[in-house]
Amino acid sequence: MLGTSYSANINLSHFDLFQSLSDLHIIYIKTKAYVSYHITYFMALNRIYLMPHGDEIIDIPNEHSRKLNSEISKLAGTDNSDVIVVLSPHGINLSKNIGIINTERFLSDTKLKSVHLRDYWENERKLCENIIRESGDIGEEVRYATYSGEESVFPMDFGTSIPLYFFKKRPIVLIGQSRSIGRHSQKEFGMHLARTLMNYEKSVSIIFSADQAHTHSADGPYGYSQEAEVYEEKLKRCIEHNNFGEMEEIDQDIVDQAKPDSFWNILVMSRFLSESKRKMRFVYGYVERYFGMFLAISDKE
């Protein structure tokens, strides 16, 4: 557990100051007119990633994908968090809530051209259940087969397994996406998620798994739309200026025509960033045939 501890005798009149700092955990013992404080600042939130999940970042068919693979590998290789939380648009997708998967383990079984991603990953159960509890009416617990035991295994989607390929094995938490709930609810979930991760007892990194517009080419499966470039220009501008107002207020027709799978996770990430007071840094992006892939990161300061 990462953290810095301080001990001090502080006049009781200063107690309100420390109560106002939500990221300080305070243990105090009354002694006459003073209070002895043991303060631990838990550095719970480590890195925040906006990461693509196209097969190409592993299969590497061209120089752009090679560059993206290299940048992701460098970042993931130095990530020392205890837990990784992944929000994927291709996992559990509920109509009225955002699903948080609460099984003992997850099984990846993603076949690519160059590799078969098959492995078991442990669920960080305590954090998972904290998120379920703290997300109120927006989050929904999802179970599969049994709550515990050998059969308590949920199948992992490629939007999760491809980003995790770059990281060393550790416990994870898997969260799905809902495209039916309103924009306000998406952002509210981001607020609850940030607060829960910041107050967890272990170091946590989070991946917002997302590919961008899917209508860059008439030869692609979704055809061509000029809104693909419009959508991605807006998103890149939001990342570079640390202001996601454009994405929060974007015309729904642009989203519908551009066909990203990122939009709903971007709404969650927008409030997550403002609540955690973090900024993203754009690392690299390009269009792979018909769809866009962006990599961005926020390192703890």
Identify the bridge partners of residue 205 per DSSP, sorted by sequence position: 84
For residue 148, give both structure tokens. 């515990």
Say if CB 98 and CB 116 are below 8 A apart.
Answer: no
What DSSP string runs through 91-141? S---SSSEEEE--SEEEEEEE-SS-EEEEEEEB-HHHHHHHHHHTTTTEEE
Instruction: Tell me the residue ranges of DSSP E strands in the chain.
Output: 3-11, 24-31, 34-42, 45-51, 83-87, 98-101, 105-111, 116-122, 139-142, 153-156, 172-175, 204-209, 281-288, 291-298
For residue 261, give both structure tokens. 């799978």
Rounded to 5 degrees, φ, ψ at 294 are -120, 145
Distance separating alpha carbons of residues 47 and 298, to the nearest angstrom: 6
Mean pLDDT confidence for 35-57: 74
Report CA torsion sign: 219, 221, 227, 232. negative
Distance separating alpha carbons of residues 31 and 33, to the nearest angstrom: 6
- pLDDT attached to residue 43: 54
Would you say the pTM of this structure is higher than 0.95?
A: no
Specify the pairing of strand 291-298 against strand 45-51.
antiparallel
For residue 34, give both structure tokens. 């003073």
Distance separating alpha carbons of residues 285 and 66, to the nearest angstrom: 12
Q: What is the pLDDT of residues 165-215, one digit of tens each?
A: 999 999 999 999 999 999 999 999 999 999 999 999 999 999 999 999 999
Mean pLDDT confidence for 117-141: 97
Q: What is the pLDDT of residues 212-268, one digit of tens each?
A: 999 999 999 999 999 999 999 999 999 999 999 999 999 999 999 999 999 999 999
